Chains A and B, each alone.
Chain A
Amino acid sequence: MTRIPEFGRFAEPALLILVSLSEGPKHGYAIMTDVEAGYGRPMGPGTLYAALARLEERGLIEALEPVDRRRPYRLTAVGATVLEEQLQDLAGFARLGLQRLRGSAG
């Protein structure tokens, strides 16, 4: 199973793209604006396509037919599974961190 951390410096953008696509297919510009709106940090076009290429290569997303040169992408079943596992890992890590933080404060 592909792990998102294997994407190196594109791991975080890849995760953000998967989250964005989890609500439905989007083309590059829509992903970029959605990520920027939801995450509050800009995602450069080069980073976006570097991460998209890696996600597509690993079969986590797939390209649909282009509309006016804008090609939408959607999450694959494998991509959805990987995303869910990754988010559960992060949720577990966040819980552990919060417990320790509250324990040290109390």
Chain B
Amino acid sequence: MTRVLIRLYPAGWRARYGDEFEALLEERPLGPFDVADIVLSAIDARIRPRGVAAAGDHSRGVLMTLRLGGIAAIVGGALWLVSLAGASVIQGADGQPWQALFVLALGALLVAMIGLSGDQGREQPRLVWAAVAIPIIGAAISAVGMLGMAIVGDAPFLFGASPWEVWVLGTIALIIGSGLFALASLRGGRVSRVGAILLMIGAVAALPLLFGVAYSNGPGDAGSILAILGIFAFAGGWVWLGIGAIRTDRAAGITSREAIP
């Protein structure tokens, strides 16, 4: 039990305080309060590493976040494209499998934004918080829309809007958030610029199509072609950003391994 609790702390912390902390924990039996206190403090130590030993931990933490963000970006971008293509080309009985896939894409892209925004969040906090908060609100709206589809079908659902329209609102929020995230990425210059530019183009171009999907009078043929290209750019931008993040993570991993004598 004691060993497991100490393992919750970062390596730098354990190297400095591990022995004496273990001795302290062995002095008396641990109650639930102690265990909860240790878990919370271990989280604090991981969130706010400090001291010389913490510097290495911090960069490792950022890189781990970058890797997870990169994987989520690739998965999210791919799911986004597959779900939209599936819903357009292969009409299911009620379209719900594609909608569920779309919500998965939404979740993956939220993870990607949080993971890839590590340093950007410190340099451009307002922009990055907006880029993440708007899609989170959108995801909630989207979930309400999906629930509505399951309950009332196409009937008016919320403030006269159909569940489908409510669901599309969530998607629009994701695209706006992605556009803001692309802007923060371009300004920060820490992730792939090509990916960020593709994402920005995709976000701007895909919006007209979504408004067209939500409301009956669509954007027209030329607008539709532009919007479809935008959807590809949007998905491609996320995948590109993800691949770039994983490459950065691998390069840093090789550098740190080479640094070990």
Contacts and interface: CB of A to CB of B under 8 A. Distances in A.
A17 interface: no
A42 interface: yes
Contact of A47 (B13, B22, B37): B37
B39 interface: yes
B207 interface: no
A85 B7 CA distance: 38
Nearest to B37: A44
A44 B51 contact: no
Contact of A70 (B13, B23, B40): B23
B51 A49 contact: no
Chain A residues touching B, majority SS: helix
Interface residues of B, number: 25
Chain B residues touching A, majority SS: helix
B42 A46 contact: yes
Contacts of A42: 33
Given A44-B34, A53-B13, A69 B41 contact: no
A29 interface: yes
A70 B25 CA distance: 11
Contacts of B37: 44-47
Identify the 6 closest CB pairs spanning chains A and B, nearest first: A44-B37, A46-B41, A46-B38, A69-B23, A46-B37, A71-B20
Given A44-B41, A46-B34, A71-B19, 18 more contacts: A44-B33, A44-B38, A45-B25, A45-B34, A45-B37, A45-B38, A46-B37, A46-B38, A46-B39, A47-B41, A49-B21, A49-B41, A50-B44, A53-B45, A66-B20, A69-B20, A70-B20, A70-B24
Interface of B: 13, 16-17, 19-25, 27-28, 33-34, 36-42, 44-45, 50-51
